[in-house]
């Protein structure tokens, strides 16, 4: 039985059992004196079990109508004082699945004028009134204002829809909620390992696994609390290396993340073995206001190909996009995409320089190849940038930047158009290009463009046909500055800084600088002693707590919590764009992206606004490549 069905049926059973004044069906509770701790979820079969626990009503509940005298004059004369709404500042407990109801009463002094007044709620997304009965929108949580109007008289009070749910994970003692009443023992406090305190994640991050050390405990309570949500999870130790882990299932994660958009929650972890209870220090987990959309393309080094992920698809691993067999090459590595996701440039074989190929992303049809040869006579490109519409590209040739038509490979203007330049990236509007310029590495006409040393960063305007004057952004002289990438709003640039040459620098840090100028700032929360390389920004500006944020992905060999690991993996972090544009560190702690193969080394995360797929006709399997099928006119992974 699915979650919604189990909840509905168990609500009905609870009502029949006399668990309080509620009704079964779409409106399981009429809140006339009792509220309920709404649910204890047993997700052993992926479903939900409802267990209603009655708790006392609010002390400000409306008095019985029999105690109120109704004045017939109130229909004609003004009340003279603000109207009173009962219950005042009410907190309605909801379960994230059903609609709930609560009756309201309007008083003029001591007289009940409910039948004469009009009741409304400011935020119509949360629900609506029909006469005196408020019905919540199924799944909605939040805070709004109830308003009463009677002629010229008005009154107001708050109404909060709060998610309250408890979950017992598979294999955990079903009586677990009652086993945390023992004496506190700090020696039994579990120890958090992952995620980091203060992490900010997008609501549609498909998975977030919690890691901790048990410290002698066998049963755990993870409480997640905040404005709009109260969630308690009871779990046994699910072993990960020397510790324990908990991965919320899909219904639980959806319930939590969608109810907690634009909110910061507190994580409280307690452990017990049946007697004393230890509690870890609380830590914060925040959810952004907006879901991330778009596609992330990266190089899986051990497989020698490019993989991609359509962001937010739970349980789906990254799909192979362009592999050596498809390319007819030994390796497909460095790559760059147009912002609209329609075109991609890939480098193949040995990057000395690499053989360059451009493709139509949807069909994977080759547009043109460029390069080849060995040693001083070799041609090709190691780094590229495509204009947002995918019509034009900038390559790294002859130690500088060359402009080519993406479809034909035709050179546009001088070759190179900008001397001594490497690692280009276009702004979202396509009007600016940023690049790294270091010590020239050319000899006898052959230029090594695989890396840079002692480099600074520069910008140059692009008018669609030619470059303007080069302008210094980060002067050389303070380490090696490289791999620049524009933030989606164009107000800042993220980049790497190292004390050594750029290729595989173990000390690489992620930095940021305002495009208006000023000193760079380290994004300290992103960095780790093992290095954080090749930062790239997701294509959209999002909101959190009234601030503009953007998301940065990068590759790093840091361990993933208790799962450890030393191969390069892709991590993501939120960055406060306004702070960075003003020269301040706006970084949040990073998190591991869950779609990756943990055994492969993953590098060069590149973003597009959308994943472009090949068109197809359902019932025509030959329209799609091997491993794909046709769904609603598009070839998607099986």
Mean pLDDT of the residues in the chain: 86
**pLDDT band for position 375 (cuts 50, 70, 90):** low
CATH superfamily label, 169-287: Immunoglobulins (2.60.40.10)
Contacts 24+ apart (CB under 8 A), 87-91: 87/58, 87/60, 87/61, 87/62, 87/157, 88/60, 88/157, 89/60, 89/157, 89/158, 89/159, 89/160, 90/58, 90/60, 90/157, 90/158, 90/159, 90/160, 91/35, 91/58, 91/160, 91/162
In the predicted structure, residue 14 carries a pLDDT above the cut 60: no
Per-residue confidence (pLDDT) for residue 449, from 0 to 100: 82
Q: How confident is the model at residue 77 (pLDDT cuts 50, 70, 90)?
A: low
Based on the number of CB atoms within 10 Å of its own CB, is 453 exposed (0-12), middle (13-18) or buried (19 or more)? Answer: middle
At 98 the pLDDT is 85
445 — pLDDT class (breaks 50, 70, 90): low
Task: Name the percent of the chain lying above pLDDT 90.
Answer: 69
Q: In the chain, list all ranges with CATH 2.60.40.10.
A: 169-287
Q: Per-residue pLDDT for 442 more than 80?
A: no
Q: How far, in Å, CA of 372 to CA of 379, rounded?
A: 5
For range 263-280, the mean pLDDT: 95
* pLDDT computed for residue 519 by the predictor: 95
- Mean of pLDDT values over 236-248: 96
pLDDT at 592 over 50: yes
Confidence at residue 355, expressed as pLDDT on a 0 to 100 scale: 93
Q: Residue 111's CB: how many other CB atoms inside 10 A?
A: 16
Indicate the pLDDT class of residue 311, thresholds 50, 70 and 90.
confident
Q: How confident is the model at residue 256 (pLDDT cuts 50, 70, 90)?
A: confident
Provide CATH 2.120.10.30 ranges for the chain: 295-631
User: For residue range 126-165, what is the model confidence (pLDDT) as tens digits?
Assistant: 999 999 999 999 888 889 999 999 999 999 999 999 877 7
> For 327, which DSSP code?
H
Cβ burial of 638 (10 Å; 0-12, 13-18, 19+) is: exposed
**SS3 of residue 562 by DSSP:** helix
Q: Which residue has the higher pLDDT, 225 or 21?
A: 225
CATH superfamily of 295-631: TolB, C-terminal domain (2.120.10.30)
Residue with tokens 């959209």: 540
Q: To which residue do tokens 């940021």 refer?
A: 512
376 three-state secondary structure: helix
- Enumerate residues 6+ apart whose C-beta is below 8 A from 77: none
Calculate mean pLDDT across residues 526-552: 95
pLDDT digits (tens, 9 = 90+) for 78-127: 788 999 999 999 999 887 778 999 999 999 999 999 999 999 999 999 99
The residue written with tokens 């460029």 in the block is 370
CATH architecture of 3-163: Sandwich (2.60)
In the chain, ranges of CATH 2.60.40.1080 domains: 3-163
pLDDT in tens, 16-74: 223 332 322 223 333 332 222 333 433 333 333 333 322 333 333 333 433 333 444 44
Q: What is the pLDDT of residues 484-521, one digit of tens each?
A: 999 999 999 999 999 998 888 889 999 999 999 999 99
- Distance between CA atoms of residues 340 and 359, nearest Å: 14
**DSSP3 helix / strand / coil % (the chain, rounded to 5):** 10, 45, 50
Task: State the pLDDT at residue 312.
Answer: 65
């Amino acid at each position: 039985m699915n979650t919604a069905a189990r909840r509905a049926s168990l609500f009905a059973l609870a009502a029949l059992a006399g668990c309080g004044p509620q009704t079964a069906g779409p409106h399981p509770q009429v809140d006339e004196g009792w509220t309920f701790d709404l649910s204890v979820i047993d997700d052993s079969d992926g479903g939900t079990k409802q267990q209603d626990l009655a708790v006392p009503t609010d002390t400000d509940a409306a008095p019985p109508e029999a105690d109120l005298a109704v004045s017939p004059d109130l229909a004609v004369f003004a009340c003279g004082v603000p109207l009173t709404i009962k219950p005042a500042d009410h907190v309605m407990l909801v379960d994230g699945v059903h609609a709930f109801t609560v009756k309201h009463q309007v008083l003029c002094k001591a007289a009940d004028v409910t039948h004469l007044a009009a009741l409304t709620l400011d935020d119509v997304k949360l629900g609506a009134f029909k006469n005196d009965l408020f019905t919540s929108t199924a799944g909605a949580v939040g805070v709004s204002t109830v308003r009463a109007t009677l002629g010229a008289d008005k009154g107001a009070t708050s109404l909060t829809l709060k998610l309250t749910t408890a979950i017992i994970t598979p294999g955990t003692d079903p009586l677990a909620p009652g086993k945390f009443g023992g004496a506190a023992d700090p020696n039994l406090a579990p120890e958090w390992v992952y995620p980091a305190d203060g992490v900010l994640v997008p609501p549609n991050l498909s998975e977030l696994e919690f890691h901790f050390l048990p410290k002698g405990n066998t049963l755990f309570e993870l409480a997640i609390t905040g404005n709009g949500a109260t969630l308690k999870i009871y779990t046994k130790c699910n072993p990960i290396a020397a510790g324990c882990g908990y991965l919320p299932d899909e219904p639980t994660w959806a319930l939590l993340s969608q109810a907690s958009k634009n909110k910061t929650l507190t994580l409280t972890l307690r452990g017990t073995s049946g007697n004393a209870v230890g509690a870890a220090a609380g830590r914060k987990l925040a959810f952004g206001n907006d879901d991330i959309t778009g596609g992330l393309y990266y190089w899986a080094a051990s497989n020698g190909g490019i993989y991609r992920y359509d962001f937010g698809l739970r349980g789906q691993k990254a799909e192979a996009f362009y592999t050596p067999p498809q390319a007819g090459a030994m390796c497909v590595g460095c790559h760059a995409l147009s912002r609209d996701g329609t075109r991609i440039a890939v480098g193949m074989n040995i990057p000395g320089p690499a053989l360059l190929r451009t493709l139509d992303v949807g069909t994977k049809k080759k547009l043109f190849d460029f390069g080849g040869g060995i040693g001083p006579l070799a041609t090709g490109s190691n780094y590229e940038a495509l204009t947002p519409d995918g019509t034009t590209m900038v390559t790294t040739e002859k130690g500088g930047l060359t402009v080519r038509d993406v479809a034909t490979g035709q050179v546009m203007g001088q070759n190179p158009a900008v001397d001594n330049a490497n690692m280009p990236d276009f702004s979202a509007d396509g009007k600016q290009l940023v690049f790294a310029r270091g010590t020239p590495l050319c000899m006898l006409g052959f230029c090594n463009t695989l890396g840079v040393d002692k480099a600074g960063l520069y910008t140059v305007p692009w008018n669609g046909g030619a470059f303007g004057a080069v302008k210094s952004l980060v002067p050389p002289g303070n380490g090696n500055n490289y791999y620049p990438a524009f933030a989606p709003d164009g107000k800042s640039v993220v980049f790497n800084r190292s004390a050594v040459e750029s290729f595989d620098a173990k000390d690489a840090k992620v930095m940021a600088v305002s495009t208006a100028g000023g000193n760079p700032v380290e994004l300290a929360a992103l960095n780790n002693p093992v290095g954080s390389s090749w930062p790239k920004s997701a294509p959209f500006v999002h909101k959190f707590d009234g601030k503009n944020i953007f998301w940065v992905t990068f590759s790093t060999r840091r361990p993933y919590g208790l799962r450890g690991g030393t191969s390069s993996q892709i991590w993501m972090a939120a960055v406060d764009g306004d702070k960075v544009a003003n020269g301040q560190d706006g970084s949040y702690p990073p998190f591991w992206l869950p779609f990756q193969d943990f055994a492969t080394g993953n590098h060069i995360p590149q973003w597009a606004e959308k994943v472009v797929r090949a068109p197809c006709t359902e019932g025509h399997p030959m329209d799609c490549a091997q491993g794909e099928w046709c769904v609603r006119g598009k070839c998607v992974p099986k």
